[in-house]
Copies of this chain bind each other. A is one copy, B any other.
């Protein structure tokens, strides 16, 4: 008998019929002898509806009150799913964030989970009940309702699996796994049967929308076995030993010995590039540039700095496009203080990354990448590398072309594992 945590997103429970489908799937797993905990999001569109209501009153809704309003979406679905399970003869009980003491910090709209009181739930599991938990929400030490931010339900699911030491955490979504890249851009993209935790983290960070990055980090920290699956396929598909359903995120690299150099290509065009040119090359400059950005709570992603000529250097980084104007405002003053020559902002860029643990033991991945891009006349504006990832920033108009070119160049188009029925 295994303890399984399943998490269903908004699309998976977007209608009464889909809620009933989810109930049937959960019932099958329960009737197969598993202890089941189900974490759900709000019905698709509901969270947006609630946030719009709030914004029609306050352009910048009060964070505490926004959480009070936004957290109701999940509260509705836990009740409905519990009813749907009971209707199938499966005992079930719903819990809001505060009812299971999903304790978080007090950072409204983006709270972090601190602790979960598992005792309340153990009794239910012992009594044979399916536990249905509201994702996305928690409660702080003072009893205020908090939410974990967009996509936080994935994190709730992983946190539940970690707290109760579940055998597997299954994230159900509207795709059937993690792909080598976005199939809408490259039709030849293949589903990966497994991906390592580190690769998944790099893929998520680069904008692969399958899993929220915080959820992946959480899974890594607590060694939670995570699987991404589609909720839109037949409810009776079972995960077998060979993992022929969805994509399993593993912690064992040994099994990856034979895998390709590159596991996948991730990309996004949500970012903008900021470059400070002709900065005097002396200690403390990077800090002088980034400190005001960090203090303004603007998240910085890729950072590159290169030695320039005549004792100066050029400093570039990317921020979310929505933050570009604020960033430029902040740096106008900094530019003067540090005596830089020029400040350039560009929001017509895209970020593109090759990910793969296979890179570790192979040289030449970067040069092969640059060669392929050059052959298509694509100029590279920034390069940043880690052990298992190479990130480049290019003009956004080349995004689709670059993804297709690299997908082919690294052999991702050809099936390197037996094709599975999807």
User: For residue A17, which residue of chain B has the nearest CB?
Assistant: B56
Measured CB to CB, the nearest residue on chain B to A144 is B99
Would you give the 0/1 interface string for A180-194, flagging 1 where the beta carbon is closer than 8 Å to chain B? 000000000000000
Contacts of A94 in B (CB 8 A): 64-65, 68
Residues of B contacting A56 in the complex (Cβ-Cβ under 8 angstroms)? 16
Measured between beta carbons, the chain B residues less than 8 angstroms from A65 are 79-80, 82-83, 86, 94
A72 / chain B contacts, CB cutoff of 8 Å: 72, 75-76
User: A338 within 8 Å of B by Cβ?
Assistant: no
The contact of A87 among B19, B57, B64, by CB within 8 Å, is B57
A78–B68 Cα distance when bound, in Å, is 8
Chain B nearest CB from A38 CB (Å) reads: 14
The answer to whether A83 and B62 touch across the interface, beta carbons within 8 angstroms, is: yes
Say which residue of B71, B86, B98 sits within 8 Å of A58 (CB atoms): B86
Distance in Å from the Cβ of A26 to the closest Cβ of chain B?
Answer: 14
Q: Which residues of B contact A96 (CB under 8 A)?
A: 68, 145
Q: Is A143 an interface residue (CB 8 A)?
A: yes
For chain A, the bracket of interface size reads 35 or more
- A289 located at the interface, meaning its Cβ lies under 8 Å from any Cβ of chain B in the complex: no
In the complex, A315→B20 CA distance in Å? Answer: 49
A80 touches B57 (CB 8 A): yes
A401 sits at the interface (CB 8 A): no
Binary CB contact string for chain A from 49 to 68 against chain B (1 if under 8 A, 0 otherwise): 01001101110011011101
Asked whether, in the complex, the Cβ of A83 is within 8 Å of the Cβ of B98, the reply is no
* B58–A69 CB distance below 8 A: no
- Residue of A56, A68, A80, A99 with highest tally of chain B CB at under 10 A: A68
**Assuming A62-B86, A98-B98, A143-B99, is B57 touching A68 (CB within 8 A)?**
no
> Given the complex, which residues of B lie within 8 Å of A87, measured CB to CB?
57-58
| Bound CA–CA A197/B181 (angstroms) | 72
Inter-subunit contact B75/A69 (CB<8 Å): yes
Asked if A355 CB lies within 8 Å of chain B CBs, one says: no
A261 at the interface (CB under 8 A from B): no
Check A83 against B61 for contact (C-beta < 8 Å): yes
A62 to B75, CA, bound (A): 15
Considering only CB atoms, which chain B residue lies closest to A49 in the complex? B76
* Closest chain B CB from A42 CB (angstroms): 10
Is the C-beta of A350 less than 8 angstroms from some C-beta in chain B?
no
A83 to B98, CA, bound (A): 22
List the B side residues contacting A54 at CB < 8 Å. Answer: 79-80, 83
A65–B56 Cα distance when bound, in Å, is 30
B62 lies within 8 A of A69 (CB): no
Name the residue on B nearest A98 (C-beta).
B98
A27 sits at the interface (CB 8 A): no
Query: When the two chains form the complex, which single residue of B79, B86, B143, B145 contacts A69, counting CB atoms closer than 8 Å?
Result: B79
Expressed in whole angstroms, the Cα–Cα distance for A72 and B93 within the complex equals 17
Complex Cα–Cα for A16 and B50 (A):
12
A84 contacts B by Cβ under 8 Å:
yes
User: Are A69 and B61 in contact, with the CB atoms below 8 A?
Assistant: no
Task: For A50, list chain B residues within 8 Å (CB).
Answer: 76
Shortest A161–chain B CB gap in Å is: 23
Extra A-B contacts (8), CB below 8 Å, given A54-B80, A57-B84: A16-B53, A58-B83, A61-B83, A62-B83, A65-B80, A69-B80, A72-B72, A72-B76
29 pairs from A and B in contact (CB 8 Å cutoff): A16-B53, A20-B57, A50-B76, A54-B79, A54-B80, A57-B84, A57-B87, A58-B87, A61-B83, A62-B82, A62-B83, A62-B86, A64-B93, A65-B79, A65-B80, A65-B82, A65-B83, A66-B79, A66-B83, A68-B75, A68-B78, A68-B79, A68-B94, A69-B75, A69-B76, A69-B79, A71-B75, A75-B75, A99-B145
Partner-B contacts on A (CB < 8 A): 16, 19-20, 50, 53-54, 56-58, 61-62, 64-66, 68-69, 71-72, 75-76, 78-80, 82-84, 86-87, 93-94, 96, 98-99, 143-145
